[in-house]
Amino acid sequence: MTRIPLVGGLVDAATAAAGSAVSAAVAVPRSVVHAVLDDVFDYLSSTDLTGVILSSVDLNRVLATVDLDELLARVDLNAVLSRVDVNEVLAGVDLNALLARVDVDAVLARTDLVGVAEKVVDGVDVTAIVREASATVSTEVISDVRIEAERADDGVEQFVNRMLRRKGRR
Protein backbone atom coordinates (compact mmCIF):
# COMPACT_ATOMS: atom_id res chain seq x y z
CA MET A 1 0.00 0.00 0.00
CA THR A 2 1.39 3.33 -0.91
CA ARG A 3 0.91 6.34 1.20
CA ILE A 4 0.17 9.68 -0.09
CA PRO A 5 2.18 12.12 2.01
CA LEU A 6 -0.47 14.74 2.44
CA VAL A 7 -3.36 12.38 3.03
CA GLY A 8 -1.36 10.00 5.24
CA GLY A 9 -0.70 12.69 7.80
CA LEU A 10 -4.36 13.58 7.92
CA VAL A 11 -5.36 9.93 8.37
CA ASP A 12 -2.85 9.53 11.19
CA ALA A 13 -4.11 12.70 12.88
CA ALA A 14 -7.74 11.61 12.46
CA THR A 15 -6.99 8.15 13.86
CA ALA A 16 -5.22 9.62 16.88
CA ALA A 17 -8.11 12.02 17.49
CA ALA A 18 -10.66 9.25 17.11
CA GLY A 19 -8.74 7.02 19.57
CA SER A 20 -8.76 9.86 22.13
CA ALA A 21 -12.44 10.41 21.59
CA VAL A 22 -13.23 6.70 21.97
CA SER A 23 -11.14 6.47 25.15
CA ALA A 24 -12.90 9.51 26.56
CA ALA A 25 -16.29 8.11 25.53
CA VAL A 26 -15.55 4.76 27.18
CA ALA A 27 -14.17 6.36 30.36
CA VAL A 28 -17.42 8.21 31.03
CA PRO A 29 -19.65 5.09 31.02
CA ARG A 30 -17.14 3.18 33.19
CA SER A 31 -17.25 5.83 35.87
CA VAL A 32 -21.03 5.95 35.60
CA VAL A 33 -21.27 2.13 35.83
CA HIS A 34 -18.96 2.11 38.88
CA ALA A 35 -21.04 4.79 40.58
CA VAL A 36 -24.30 2.98 39.78
CA LEU A 37 -22.91 -0.35 41.02
CA ASP A 38 -21.73 1.29 44.26
CA ASP A 39 -25.25 2.64 44.79
CA VAL A 40 -26.79 -0.78 44.00
CA PHE A 41 -24.51 -2.59 46.45
CA ASP A 42 -25.19 0.00 49.15
CA TYR A 43 -28.93 -0.50 48.61
CA LEU A 44 -28.65 -4.28 48.68
CA SER A 45 -26.60 -4.32 51.87
CA SER A 46 -29.21 -2.21 53.67
CA THR A 47 -32.24 -4.11 52.32
CA ASP A 48 -33.85 -7.30 53.71
CA LEU A 49 -33.26 -9.48 50.68
CA THR A 50 -35.20 -12.38 52.21
CA GLY A 51 -38.42 -10.40 52.02
CA VAL A 52 -37.65 -9.24 48.47
CA ILE A 53 -36.87 -12.80 47.35
CA LEU A 54 -39.92 -14.30 49.09
CA SER A 55 -42.23 -11.77 47.46
CA SER A 56 -40.58 -12.03 44.04
CA VAL A 57 -39.66 -15.72 43.64
CA ASP A 58 -42.12 -18.60 43.14
CA LEU A 59 -40.66 -21.00 45.73
CA ASN A 60 -43.02 -23.81 44.68
CA ARG A 61 -41.55 -23.62 41.19
CA VAL A 62 -38.00 -23.65 42.59
CA LEU A 63 -38.75 -26.56 44.97
CA ALA A 64 -40.36 -28.54 42.15
CA THR A 65 -36.89 -28.77 40.59
CA VAL A 66 -35.29 -30.17 43.77
CA ASP A 67 -34.58 -33.92 43.81
CA LEU A 68 -35.77 -34.81 47.32
CA ASP A 69 -34.41 -38.36 47.13
CA GLU A 70 -30.92 -37.04 46.42
CA LEU A 71 -31.27 -34.44 49.17
CA LEU A 72 -32.50 -36.99 51.74
CA ALA A 73 -29.74 -39.43 50.76
CA ARG A 74 -27.25 -36.84 52.04
CA VAL A 75 -29.04 -36.42 55.39
CA ASP A 76 -27.60 -38.31 58.38
CA LEU A 77 -30.86 -39.58 59.91
CA ASN A 78 -29.06 -40.97 62.96
CA ALA A 79 -27.78 -37.47 63.76
CA VAL A 80 -31.28 -36.04 63.30
CA LEU A 81 -32.95 -38.74 65.42
CA SER A 82 -30.33 -38.42 68.17
CA ARG A 83 -31.65 -34.90 68.73
CA VAL A 84 -35.28 -36.07 69.09
CA ASP A 85 -36.69 -36.45 72.61
CA VAL A 86 -38.61 -39.71 72.16
CA ASN A 87 -40.29 -39.36 75.57
CA GLU A 88 -41.70 -36.00 74.52
CA VAL A 89 -42.96 -37.49 71.25
CA LEU A 90 -44.57 -40.43 73.05
CA ALA A 91 -46.17 -38.10 75.61
CA GLY A 92 -48.24 -36.69 72.77
CA VAL A 93 -49.42 -40.10 71.57
CA ASP A 94 -52.95 -41.18 72.50
CA LEU A 95 -52.29 -44.85 73.29
CA ASN A 96 -55.99 -45.70 73.53
CA ALA A 97 -56.60 -44.37 70.03
CA LEU A 98 -53.50 -46.16 68.76
CA LEU A 99 -54.47 -49.49 70.33
CA ALA A 100 -58.02 -49.14 69.05
CA ARG A 101 -56.57 -49.26 65.53
CA VAL A 102 -54.64 -52.51 66.20
CA ASP A 103 -56.14 -55.60 64.59
CA VAL A 104 -55.55 -58.13 67.38
CA ASP A 105 -56.74 -61.02 65.22
CA ALA A 106 -54.13 -60.17 62.59
CA VAL A 107 -51.42 -59.97 65.27
CA LEU A 108 -52.44 -63.35 66.66
CA ALA A 109 -52.56 -64.84 63.16
CA ARG A 110 -48.90 -63.89 62.71
CA THR A 111 -47.94 -65.20 66.14
CA ASP A 112 -46.49 -68.69 66.55
CA LEU A 113 -48.72 -69.67 69.48
CA VAL A 114 -47.34 -73.24 69.55
CA GLY A 115 -43.80 -71.86 69.80
CA VAL A 116 -44.85 -69.49 72.58
CA ALA A 117 -46.55 -72.34 74.45
CA GLU A 118 -43.45 -74.52 74.10
CA LYS A 119 -41.28 -71.73 75.54
CA VAL A 120 -43.69 -71.29 78.44
CA VAL A 121 -43.78 -75.01 79.18
CA ASP A 122 -39.98 -75.24 78.87
CA GLY A 123 -39.69 -72.42 81.36
CA VAL A 124 -41.94 -74.13 83.91
CA ASP A 125 -40.31 -76.64 86.28
CA VAL A 126 -43.19 -79.14 86.42
CA THR A 127 -41.21 -81.50 88.66
CA ALA A 128 -40.75 -78.79 91.29
CA ILE A 129 -44.43 -77.88 91.13
CA VAL A 130 -45.48 -81.52 91.59
CA ARG A 131 -42.97 -81.95 94.43
CA GLU A 132 -44.22 -78.82 96.22
CA ALA A 133 -47.84 -79.77 95.66
CA SER A 134 -47.18 -83.31 96.90
CA ALA A 135 -45.32 -82.00 99.93
CA THR A 136 -48.16 -79.63 100.70
CA VAL A 137 -50.75 -82.39 100.28
CA SER A 138 -48.63 -84.80 102.35
CA THR A 139 -48.23 -82.22 105.10
CA GLU A 140 -51.95 -81.56 105.11
CA VAL A 141 -52.78 -85.30 105.17
CA ILE A 142 -50.36 -85.91 108.06
CA SER A 143 -51.81 -82.94 109.91
CA ASP A 144 -55.35 -84.24 109.35
CA VAL A 145 -54.35 -87.76 110.50
CA ARG A 146 -52.78 -86.34 113.70
CA ILE A 147 -55.88 -84.27 114.42
CA GLU A 148 -58.10 -87.31 113.90
CA ALA A 149 -55.77 -89.44 116.07
CA GLU A 150 -56.00 -86.83 118.85
CA ARG A 151 -59.79 -86.87 118.60
CA ALA A 152 -59.83 -90.67 118.68
CA ASP A 153 -57.50 -90.63 121.70
CA ASP A 154 -59.81 -88.17 123.45
CA GLY A 155 -62.80 -90.37 122.61
CA VAL A 156 -61.08 -93.49 124.02
CA GLU A 157 -60.11 -91.56 127.16
CA GLN A 158 -63.71 -90.45 127.67
CA PHE A 159 -64.99 -93.99 127.15
CA VAL A 160 -62.51 -95.44 129.65
CA ASN A 161 -63.32 -92.72 132.19
CA ARG A 162 -67.02 -93.49 131.90
CA MET A 163 -66.46 -97.19 132.28
CA LEU A 164 -64.31 -96.67 135.30
CA ARG A 165 -66.60 -93.91 136.54
CA ARG A 166 -63.82 -91.43 136.76
CA LYS A 167 -64.45 -87.80 136.92
CA GLY A 168 -61.95 -86.30 134.62
CA ARG A 169 -61.96 -83.97 131.81
CA ARG A 170 -64.58 -84.23 129.24
Query: What average pLDDT does the structure give for the chain?
Result: 79
Is 127 within a domain?
A: no
Please report which helix (H) or strand (E) contains residue 83, including its range: none
Is 64 within a domain?
A: yes
pLDDT of 39 above 60: yes
Residue 88 confidence (pLDDT): 92
Residue 151 confidence (pLDDT): 83
* Whether the Cβ atoms of residue 161 and residue 168 lie closer than 8 Å to each other: yes
Between these two residues, 64 and 135, which has the higher pLDDT value?
64
Q: What is the pLDDT of residues 80-121, one digit of tens each?
A: 999 999 999 999 999 999 989 999 888 888 888 888 888 887
Between these two residues, 23 and 138, which has the higher pLDDT value?
138
Number of domains in the chain: 1
Is 98 within a domain?
A: no
Is 21 within a domain?
A: yes
Is 40 within a domain?
A: yes
Residue 79 confidence (pLDDT): 92
Between these two residues, 16 and 56, which has the higher pLDDT value?
56
pLDDT of 4 above 60: no
What is the domain extent for residue 35?
8-84
Is 38 within a domain?
A: yes
Is 155 within a domain?
A: no
Is 61 within a domain?
A: yes
Q: What is the DSSP string of 29-79?
A: HHHHHHHHHHHHHHHHHTS-HHHHHHHHS-HHHHHTTS-HHHHHHTS-HHH
